A and B are shown apart, each in its own frame.
Chain A
Amino acid sequence: MNEKDLLKKALPPWQNTALERDLWPGMLRRLDQAPARWQRFDWALIALLFAWCLFFPELLPQLLYHL
């Protein structure tokens, strides 16, 4: 008996490959959890930082010092 035979005795081929239920409701829940709003929020933060640097350039060294 070789490794393959031993393996097939321990782990026979999987017989029941039929899906018992529709997974679309679970998929919809997963899609709802998607962090879609984060990206917009990130862009808003970057724009805010950019505007701040544009209007108050003298504060930039201070900001860099504290980082």
Chain B
Amino acid sequence: MDTQAGDKPELDEAVLGARFAAGDLAAFETLFRQYQRPVYAWIVRIVRNPAAAEDLTVETFWRIWRSRRRFDSSRPFGAWARRVATHAAIDHLKTARAEVQLPAVLPSPDAADAAERREIRDAVAGAFRSLPARLQAVATLALIEELPYEEISAATGHPIGTIKTRVFRAVRLLRKKLSKLGIRP
């Protein structure tokens, strides 16, 4: 994960990480200030809501602080933070998903004018947001943000095969939902 002050030597971060794992709040603040921006940038791409992403960034670092004893300072803090952030974002999508309501059947895209096309886009977005959170998060990163499977695998902690399966399931489920709405890609 790139950092705002990414030019710090690696050794510094290992020492900082060790101090953080021992419960040093000043070390945690340094890590927070160094990583809040990349963590936010990662989360906002998944949840697509800046206000929620800010809250989730704090939630991510709260989880990180709570589990600081489990942190291995020989490993990069950024990768760990990104993994925690991904899980926090997925947890958020689980609750946000309950609020999504799909519209009734839409007109055919062939005969659609501008307003209808907008309605179709909204319906596609709604159908996508109604997917299970784990599928939605992975599909957002793979299909919308077009990130490599390796990067998504590292961020979620799941093997690449699992990521590919989830993307496949997300597309299949989306196709089913769109077909129910009368939208055929």
Contact = CB atoms under 8 A, between A and B. Distances in A.
**What band does the interface of chain A fall in when counting residues whose beta carbon is under 8 Å from B?**
20 to 34
Contact of B37 (A7, A11, A19, A31): A19
Given A5-B185, A24-B29, A17 B40 contact: yes
Nearest to B48: A14
Contacts of A63: none
Interface of B: 25, 29, 32-33, 36-37, 40-41, 44-45, 48, 50, 54, 57-59, 61-62, 65, 120-122, 124-125, 128, 139-140, 143-146, 171, 174-175, 178, 183, 185
A30 B58 contact: yes
A7 B29 contact: no
A38 B59 CA distance: 20
Q: Chain B: interface secondary structure?
A: helix
Interface string A1-15: 111111111111110
Contacts of A26: 54, 58
Contact of B44 (A2, A3, A17): A17
A58 interface: no
A13 B54 contact: no
Contacts of A21: 54
A4 B58 contact: no
Given A9-B121, A24-B33, A2 B185 contact: yes
B121 to A, nearest CB: 4
